[in-house]
Structure 1
Amino acid sequence: MKRFSYLFIVIISLLVVLPKLAYANEMNFSVKAILPENQRDNTHTYFDLNVVPGTTQVVEVELKNETDKDVTVQTVANTAITNDNGIVEYTNEKPKLDKSLVTPFSKLASVQSEITIPKQSSLRLPITLKIPEKSFDGVILGGLYFKEKETDQETKKSKDDVQIENKFSYTIGVLLAESPEMVLPDLVLNDVKATQKVGRNVITANLQNPKAALLSNLTVDAKVYEADSNQLLHEEKQTSLRMAPNSNFNYSVSWGNEAFQTGDYRIEIDATDGNQNWHLKKNFKIKAKEAKEYNNTAVHIAQKSTPWIYWLMGGIIIALLIVIAFLILKNKRKNSN
């Protein structure tokens, strides 16, 4: 039953051909995967392939242009990563890869970087997959990313007028597996630190999935305390997150509009994907130097009001100084007389 659940998660996670609309009003080209014989499920519109170690396979996609002008499309084979929003991403051409990833998809897939589709026509674009000699467990996940190339005129206009042109892009997922045995994902807590995002103070906890398996339907509830206290300071809960195989991302806990305070803290994270549960915790420190740096650049930091006792003490001290000064002055006048 558990194996079926994870298979269902994989199916949902690799959604079809993923068209991405980038400030677009009309579609200039379309992309469709031509499914080969070793496709594990022909109801999928992405490549879900059963592969053999040490082999080379060529798969194809159909590019169609139904406009009245030629369209040039740029193509890249990218490794799937997890971005800091907890979303599997296929569009980053030079990502920082997780140390647990042995074989990035971008290293075994090759494709023509640019192709022109004549007006009112279609063509097939081959993609070569070189499967590693050494067999692997779990899955290798990547994506074929297609975007329309800007013309020289569009590039010039963008630079001169600072305008964003209407452009479409597509991603076709590619999942490679050698064995029907499912590998379960895992969740590991790495570095925790104070930082800033969009001018806001946040704590980031680096979460890693070190297994060659998709981690889907993930709920993360992170709570921050002082290191030696159970008094809750800040909490951040998110649902429906997804992580690519062998990837990591920085989960953010907002510090609200409060300034960072130097000290020792503790983060505790409860996470679940519906099949597995994780309880993770780690102590971390906010140093005086970084607290000052981030507080100085943060927006909308609430200034803490000075406690009334300090105002009272300040008033008493000022009053005493005035009295002392008056007595000294009075004594000087008396002596002079």
Structure 2
Amino acid sequence: MLKKLKRLVMMTLILISLGLGNSALASENKLNFTPTIKQTEQKMDDSQTDFKLKGEAGKTVELALEIKNESDQPISLKTGMKDAATNNQGIVNYTADQKVINKELSLAKLADYTEKFTLNGYEKKGIKIKITLPKKPFSGILLGGLLIEQEADKKGTSMIKNAFSYSIPVVVVESEENIDADLVFNKVSPELTGGRNALKISLDNPVNNLLPEAKYHVDVTKKNEKEILYKDELKGISFAPNSTFHHYVEMGKDTYKAGSYIAHIKVNSPYGDWQWNELFEIKTDVAKKLNEESVSIERMSQMMKIMILVVILLVVLLLIILYVMRRKLKAAKNNKT
């Protein structure tokens, strides 16, 4: 597919500086710990919100930070490097282990870093992480994040009951040359999300760069029919580099029905436009299995089934009684005659 524009790696660096993907997740607004980013030789600026590192093929880049326990109680922390991914709402995050398209350019794999430790009240700990880059040069960026998670106090000995997590974007650059944008259709499949009926649509961004500012639209119809059964749209979506975007089109309370369908998918951005009309099939055994497991479908309770059965039996019994009474009345009338 012809690409309209080329993208600069610097554009992605600017988006990272604006806080793309930086997140703190907690049940309160205050974190029990504070991460402070330290300057290293390969760090491209003095930002305190992210790591932008310049490296060379086959060599090592290093990032450093200090984590301080801001409470007077011990806390247990778990840290690890994650690859970037785009979630169901079109937002880039670094909060889980991800499957990347090119494993040789997985930031999580290249860093190979996870660590668990405990900080006493107001204690500090310095962390240094080395990332060994592939010997073969690459264009674009490696994008991921350092995830810091506070483990909940299971024993209940601490006053701290809330679990917190914080992610710091990490981007590694070798070359700042222009690269083309691209998106590739992956597949459509019926799947449950949160136990609810949905159609899972997957698109690949095989390019080592972010594809931002995109508009995503999907319509689902039956094969050879025009009626739209399901539709969804996302605006301002960002496709993470070297990753697969999974989006769930919810089906409400509809059951899965076996048959052939078409997913009409459009993606428009300042850097390229893509369109697919993909045929997919829902098989009878798959539809039956998913419908049985789904919480979307309203089912009668066991008590309701028993009540309906009792009503049916009472109606049948009443009909039998009426039939017998009618026979007796008819026989009595004949005897009188």
TM-score (norm. length: structure 2) = 0.76
Offset, 1:109 = 1.3
Determine what percentage of the aligned residue pairs are the same residue: 29
Is the aligned partner of 1:49 residue 2:21? no
Q: Distance in 2 between matches of 1:198 and 1:121?
A: 39
Offset, 1:302 = 7.8
Change (3 A) 1:197 1:135: same
Offset, 1:24 = 3.4
Q: Distance in 2 between matches of 1:199 and 1:59?
A: 40
Deviations 1:215-235 (A, max 9, x none): 222221001112212332221
Deviations 1:235-283 (A, max 9, x none): 1111222222111132222223222322211111111233311111210
Contact 1:214 1:242 in 2 (8 A): yes
Change (3 A) 1:132 1:268: same
Aligned position for 1:180:
176
Is the aligned partner of 1:284 residue 2:276? no
Query: Paired residue for 1:201, among 186, 197, 200?
Result: 197
Aligned position for 1:126:
128
Query: Paired residue for 2:11, among 8, 12, 18?
Result: 8
Aligned position for 1:235:
231
Change (3 A) 1:57 1:238: closer
Q: Distance in 2 between matches of 1:38 and 1:300?
A: 51
Moved more, 21-30 or 112-121: 112-121
Aligned to 1:113, the other structure's residue is in SS state strand
Is the aligned partner of 1:59 residue 2:63? yes
Contact 1:213 1:246 in 2 (8 A): yes
Change (3 A) 1:10 1:235: farther
> 1:107 corresponds to which letter in structure 2?
K
Aligned to 2:81, the other structure's residue is in SS state strand
Q: Distance in 2 between matches of 1:232 and 1:32?
A: 51
Contact 1:101 1:247 in 2 (8 A): no
Structure 1: gaps (5+ residues): 159-163, 304-337
Offset, 1:52 = 0.8
Contact 2:83 2:100 in 1 (8 A): no
Contact 2:221 2:229 in 1 (8 A): yes
Is the aligned partner of 1:270 residue 2:266? yes
Contact 1:16 1:46 in 2 (8 A): no
Structure 2 matches for 1:130-209, cutoff 5 A?
Answer: 130-150=132-152, 154-157=153-156, 165-209=161-205
Deviations 1:88-114 (A, max 9, x none): 23121x43x133343211222154613
> 1:198 corresponds to which letter in structure 2?
G
Q: Distance in 2 between matches of 1:85 and 1:247?
A: 15
Query: Paired residue for 1:39, among 26, 36, 43?
Result: 43
Structure 2: gaps (5+ residues): 300-337
Deviations 1:159-215 (A, max 9, x none): xxxxx9312222111101100113333211111122222333221111111111112
Change (3 A) 1:177 1:37: same
Is the aligned partner of 1:108 residue 2:110? yes
> 2:173 corresponds to which letter in structure 1?
A
Contact 1:33 1:172 in 2 (8 A): no
Contact 1:16 1:44 in 2 (8 A): no
Query: Paired residue for 2:28, among 24, 30, 33?
Result: 24
Structure 2 matches for 1:252-263, cutoff 5 A?
Answer: 252-263=248-259
Q: Distance in 1 between matches of 2:84 and 2:205?
A: 13
Structure 2 matches for 1:85-100, cutoff 5 A?
Answer: 85-92=89-96, 94-95=97-98, 97-100=99-102
Change (3 A) 1:226 1:146: same
> 1:49 corresponds to which letter in structure 2?
L
Q: Distance in 2 between matches of 1:17 and 1:277?
A: 24
Corresponding residue pairs, total: 295
> 1:269 corresponds to which letter in structure 2?
I
Q: Distance in 2 between matches of 1:214 and 1:149?
A: 31
Contact 2:16 2:50 in 1 (8 A): no
Change (3 A) 1:124 1:297: closer
> 1:106 corresponds to which letter in structure 2?
A
Change (3 A) 1:19 1:268: closer
Change (3 A) 1:231 1:38: same
Q: Distance in 1 between matches of 2:198 and 2:122?
A: 51
TM-score (norm. length: structure 1) = 0.76
